[in-house]
Structure 1
């Protein structure tokens, strides 16, 4: 198919081709094949030209199809950081898998917000106190959604006790969720991503205490350090499959777990933190969204500390 378009030098002609209606020439591309000056004069402004565009049918295998819907699963997304991550990923075009342990109403609220954004939301109860059983539940959710492109390991537990006081039971409960759960869920997600053959992202929500101890929380500190090491090992193992694995390490964030709400992030004073306040959940979720995006294709095995400068302060810091 050949199309003739007239133009003069005072106008750009290339966009004309782009704006043509392709409905009558599906699976085709247009190519500028000739420019003709029907007049005898020089090519000055105002001279009329004819552009000859030819439409070429593309081979069947090069025709673009409707993009596959993207799916992100966020564990413990019934409130706090997980809920905000689910919303921001939905805004990026992901359908969302939402898991909850005890707050089903919170999970439904998250699902409602995802649906209002225009994305599909599915919820399921997931308790990582039994990691192998949790892995089976995660697979059920993946099967329900049809695929998985991003996993956000957000579920966590913290039993506060110092070294001489922590019980074996509390030690194991903490590691079950904070380490074993990350391992099992990451493995289930990675198997599906490898089978899909399109790569993927796994983002482990650790803590600033992946990098520095939390006094009075020996099991939590050890578990978060372990999750940081696991993140690096996962990243190295999965890179050949184009699966990128990173950690996000929040400091003090205004969440229900910390007996705060999002609105408290800019109201509560925390002079021991250089920023002077706790973080907002969107300040964590925005990093998760970036790591899930096409802007983060060369980033893996890293731990991103988001702490308002907490790690910069030492015991001599007295606030501003």
Structure 2
């Protein structure tokens, strides 16, 4: 079953979302975009999509609201249908669990888990009603799988989104809708305090590939999951981290070796 080349990408005003929208446009998708604060950046993504000969529409979006799913309806009406949803919009924090306020906990959980659920639910309903199948791709994080000090709410939300991905994959398979997650590691974006070019100029000795990732390297995996090449892939999580999550055991081995040398 071939889904329509009509996509929604949340958080597409910058970073991974913008790169994904542009790459999907290259592959023939019209794209619905969302913008939270940076309207100017969203216009830049629109221009990039249109420069590739595709239509682009932008709607305001706040993932941390009970009406987050409404953005799907607004964009579907403009696109004329929906074949792919990419949930990118999210936020982070730097608070030890002992210092984390309930308000901050709720803000991160609402943005990183509640919002993506509401958007995915609404998109799935649209796809089921259309009867043409589809793809849902949730951008999580390596912290879907491994913890990070100072990120209790973020890690809990991303782990929750990873499990939501698997449950929806089970439930939506009969409708020919695949649901997968993409789990980036350290990517050179504004959120990590870097420019995109830093991906190739910053050294990361603790990463097997020795550098941060580029947004295009995450977008390429997302685009694969949206393509016919991934028609039999569902309920999977694709880690895009240069091998970073492999290093825990390596670090332990190094400590053991140092101890043996003493």
TM exceeding 0.5: yes
- Superposed CA deviations along residues 129-164 of structure 1, whole A, max 9, x for unmatched, are 21x322112211111111110000001111221111
Question: Could you say which residue in structure 1 is the equivalent of 2:62?
Answer: 127
- CA apart distance, 1:237: 0.6
- CA apart distance, 1:214: 1.2
Question: Could you say which residue in structure 2 is the equivalent of 1:264?
Answer: 198
Query: What pairs up with 1:1-320 in 2 under 5 angstroms?
Result: 70-130=5-65, 132-314=66-248, 315-316=251-252
- 1:279 aligned counterpart, secondary structure: coil
**Cα distance in 1 between the residues matched to 2:225 and 2:7:** 12
**Cα distance in 1 between the residues matched to 2:132 and 2:186:** 35
- 1:155 aligned counterpart, secondary structure: coil
- Superposed CA deviations along residues 254-280 of structure 1, whole A, max 9, x for unmatched, are 011111122111001111211110001
Are the aligned partners of 2:3 and 2:133 in contact in 1 as well (CA < 8 Å)? no
**Cα distance in 2 between the residues matched to 1:137 and 1:81:** 19
**Cα distance in 1 between the residues matched to 2:142 and 2:21:** 21
- 2:92 aligned counterpart, secondary structure: coil
- CA apart distance, 1:69: 5.6
**Cα distance in 2 between the residues matched to 1:268 and 1:125:** 34
**Cα distance in 1 between the residues matched to 2:136 and 2:3:** 19
- Superposed CA deviations along residues 280-317 of structure 1, whole A, max 9, x for unmatched, are 11110000000000010100000000111101102348
Are the aligned partners of 2:13 and 2:42 in contact in 1 as well (CA < 8 Å)? yes
Larger Rg, first or second structure (1 or 2): 1
Q: TM-score, normalised by structure 2?
A: 0.93
**Cα distance in 2 between the residues matched to 1:129 and 1:226:** 16
- 2:230 aligned counterpart, secondary structure: coil
- 2:228 aligned counterpart, secondary structure: coil
For structure 2, list consecutive stretches of 5 or more residues without a partner in the other structure.
255-262
Q: TM-score, normalised by structure 1?
A: 0.76
**Cα distance in 1 between the residues matched to 2:173 and 2:202:** 41
- 2:167 aligned counterpart, secondary structure: helix
Are the aligned partners of 2:4 and 2:132 in contact in 1 as well (CA < 8 Å)? no
Q: Structure 1 pair 317/287, CA: closer, same or farther in 2 (3 Å)?
A: farther
Aligned length: 251
- 1:257 aligned counterpart, secondary structure: helix
Q: Which has the higher contact order (CA 8 A, sep 6+)?
A: 2
- Superposed CA deviations along residues 188-233 of structure 1, whole A, max 9, x for unmatched, are 0001001110100000000000000011111111111111110000
Are the aligned partners of 1:272 and 1:317 in contact in 2 as well (CA < 8 Å)? no
- 2:122 aligned counterpart, secondary structure: helix
User: Aligned Cα RMSD in Å?
Assistant: 1.4
